[in-house]
Chains A and B, each alone.
Chain A
Amino acid sequence: MAGMYEKVLDWANDFDHADPEYNERAHEIWAEFQGSECPVAHSDRYDGLWAPFTYEMVHEIAYDTDHFTSQGVVVNTGRPMIEAPVGPAPPITSDPPFHNIARRLLLPPFSPKVIAEWEPEIRRLCNELLDRMGDITEGESIVDGAVEYAQSIPVNVIARMLGFPTEDEALFRDFVHNVLERINEPVEEREEFMQPLADYLDAQIQDHRDNPRDDLTNYLLNVEIAGNKLSDEHVRGSILLLLVAGIDTTWSAIGSSLWHLGTHPDDLQRLVDEPDVMMFALEEFLRAYAPVTMARLVKEDYDFHGCPMKANDWVLLPFPAANRDPKQFEDATKFVIDRQENRHGAFGLGIHRCLGSNLARLELKVAVEEFVRRFPSFTVDGDTRWSVGQIRGPRELPLRVLKTS
């Protein structure tokens, strides 16, 4: 880890989710906080960081736009330069009332019925990736469920939606890694390594101005708010959001779901025997392995249940921890493949519900279905490497194929 902070020894008072141990041991760490008298972690790192771990507290902050701003949603050593209510990546970084205006522009292209049309294309892509794994010998071959499969699915879909070259797949992953994982490096270094992303987006936007086509980038260039085109900053920010939010997140959800199936043969067998259980399994993957923790900034000094939060402190919103809170969910720490009541908050709660949730859900469903169809039996064999930071999922996932279809 090239970060500026030391290894965490005290999770309650010197918390840091960029310590690789956090995502590796996340379930244990959350359970410890949920069982303790004070379920809120604090840290002086990042110039002030809080992390509450109960469903109730996460829910409260997600709904409280009076005391918490979305201007910054990825904790890092700096602070966002573009102010509320727009923020650097609207609408995720926007606050009311502007938030709703920016969000309504992007909701229709991500509505359930529009997204459903992508299903055949996603299925084709998954099979292409499976074919690319080459000859598989049952019981011997090891494939990497993260590197050879999960990581390529969302990046290809979002690149096509934005009208960006899919050949730049590796570059996009690198950009996203810089934004989401290299959070604890000094501000000057972050500015330096973030520059290529800004330059790339500017070049793509210019290309779309010069050669308009039918994609989301041109949609954003043409769409109007009260008769006015969006500012350049708004267009770039929304594209940044779609690119960054659409890649690591879904890749992580797919990887974690395969990790679960590769460590729980009974659940894998159930999916193979009863494909219809997927309707419930999908939501249980999302609940038990939600990949996304969001963040907020504290607006003004605020006493949150006895926590003396200061203006400009970061606050993490660990929806994945809230999803495993025994006060909210029955058998919260158990994966119940056909769980009937499942009000999970994997896509957030309140006004910032993930804009891409319909796409993410479709990608996750199709990716797991096609993998299981091709490999009806597999097991995790080797070391899984987990991501660091706010998005939790396997970055390396060795799976031994036990059976092919």
Chain B
Amino acid sequence: MRVIVDEEKCQGHNRCFAIAPELFDVDDYGTAIALNDGIVPAELEDKARLAAANCPEYAITIED
């Protein structure tokens, strides 16, 4: 599984970083960055789905 952040859509709500800091980081401007090229370890797949499902700007997509 991979998570992809659309930087154009991200407005820095910081929801993904709060839910899954293992998968996302935020820069000084609050924009989210997917860590490790977005590759999601199997044990974090639920967290990745939760992060995507809570983005108010629909900026996170998941590739299975």
Shortest CB distance A116–B (Å):
10
Asked if residues A358 and B54 are in contact (CB atoms below 8 Å), the reply is no
A353 to B58, CA, bound (A): 14
Q: Is the CB of B12 within 8 A of A343?
A: no
The answer to whether B17 touches A343, judged by C-beta atoms less than 8 angstroms apart, is: no
Chain B positions 29 through 40: 1 when the CB is less than 8 Å from some CB of chain A, otherwise 0: 110000000000
B55, A340: Cβ atoms closer than 8 Å:
no
**Secondary structure type dominating chain A contacts:** loop
Report the separation of the CA atoms of residues A358 and B29 in the bound assembly, to the nearest whole angstrom.
Answer: 12
Judging by beta carbons under 8 Å apart, are A107 and B50 in contact? no
- Determine the chain A residues whose CB is within 8 A of the CB of B55 once the complex forms: 343
Q: Which of A112, A279, A343, A351 has a CB less than 8 Å from the CB of B11? A: A351
Which residues of chain A have C-beta atoms less than 8 A from B26's C-beta? 111-113
Q: Which residue in B11, B17, B27, B53 is a CB contact (below 8 Å) of A353?
A: B11
CA distance A346 to B29 in the complex (A): 19
> Shortest Cβ distance from A271 into chain B, in angstroms?
18
Distance to closest chain B CB from A281 (angstroms) = 13
* A154, B14: Cα distance in complex, Å: 20
Contact A343 B56 (CB under 8 A): yes
Closest chain-B Cβ to A198's Cβ sits at a distance in Å of 30
User: Are A112 and B17 in contact (CB-based, < 8 A)?
Assistant: yes
Q: Are A340 and B14 in contact (CB under 8 A)?
A: no
From the candidates A107, A343, A350, name the one contacting B54 in the complex (CB within 8 A). A343
Among A113, A340, A349, which residue has its beta carbon within 8 angstroms of that of B53?
A: A340
Q: Say which residue of B12, B18, B53 sits within 8 Å of A341 (CB atoms).
A: B53
A345 at the interface (CB under 8 A from B): yes
How many residues of chain B get a CB closer than 8 Å to chain A's CBs?
Answer: 20
Q: Are B29 and A104 in contact (CB under 8 A)?
A: yes
Contact with B28, one of A107, A283, A353 (Cβ below 8 angstroms): A107
Asked whether any CB of chain A lies closer than 8 Å to the CB of B57, the reply is yes
Q: Is A382 in contact with chain B by the CB < 8 A criterion?
A: no
User: What are the residues of chain A within 8 A of B14 when measuring CB–CB?
Assistant: 112, 357-358, 361
Q: Is the CB of B29 within 8 A of A343?
A: no
Give the complex CA separation of A340 and B54 in angstroms. 8
A343 to B17, CA, bound (A): 14
Does B29 lie within 8 Å of A353, measured CB to CB? Answer: no
State the CA gap A122–B58 with chains docked (Å).
31
Interface on A for B, CB 8 Å cutoff?
A: 104, 107-108, 110-113, 279, 283, 340-345, 347, 349-351, 353, 357-358, 361
Q: A111-B30, A283-B54, A341-B54 are in contact. List 19 more A-B contacts (CB 8 A).
A: A107-B12, A107-B29, A108-B28, A111-B27, A111-B28, A112-B14, A112-B17, A112-B30, A113-B26, A343-B55, A344-B56, A345-B56, A349-B11, A349-B57, A350-B57, A353-B11, A357-B12, A357-B14, A361-B14
